[in-house]
Amino acid sequence: MEKTAEKINDEQLMFRLSCNDLEALKELFQLHSGNIFKFAVRILKNSTEADDIVQDVFLRIWKYREKYCHQQNFRAWALRICLNLCLDMKRMQRKNLTGFISAFDEGDLPENSLEETIITNEQTLIVSKAFYELPFEYQQLLSLRLDGDLSVPETAETLGCSIRTVHYKTAMAIDMLKRLAGEKQ
């Protein structure tokens, strides 16, 4: 039910945007910039570059507002724009990207003892490092599902593949991630 309400709200905002309503763009930014940022960070491994990408995504949304198809899922469309911009940026960069962004926000830490917090951070670091050893297509897929909070059909639409392929590759990615994380412990 919540997803349907969100989709209706996104469609209303895109309609307003198509009528040159800048407030609608601001509202879309407030609703979706966080997920887009997380997704870009996963791909680029750099929060500064991810910030730039988020800005570029919303510039493109504004630029192509009249070409948006209202049958599309807005979030999937926005994440596809983000993916394309990230891939363009990666093509322009050297092969060895530097920087590491943890998938874990310290502000989200539960109120545990220092020892539990350290163990949790170590486990998160292990999984994060293993994540970046996955093939890029698996990183994209897991980022869309986890950071982008897309459903399987939305992920399939964003990646341009079948739902069956998303299920299969998700299972493969999770198995590989478990194996890589297990080797690091």
Count: domains in the chain: 2
Q: Using one digit for the tens of pLDDT, what is the confidence trace for 3-20?
A: 566 666 888 998 898 898
Same domain, 129 and 72: no
Same domain, 83 and 149: no
Q: Which domain holds residue 167?
A: 111-185
Same domain, 5 and 61: yes
Instruction: Name the phi and psi angles at 87, rounded to 5.
Output: -65, -40
Residue 134 lies in a domain: yes
What mean pLDDT comes out for the span 83-109? Answer: 55
Residue 141 lies in a domain: yes
pLDDT of residue 72: 76
Q: For residues 118, 122, 125 and 127, what is the CA-based torsion angle, rounded to 10 degrees? A: -130
Same domain, 83 and 131: no
Same domain, 74 and 13: yes
Same domain, 83 and 11: yes
Q: Using one digit for the tens of pLDDT, what is the confidence trace for 133-172?
A: 888 888 888 888 877 778 888 888 888 889 899 888 888 8
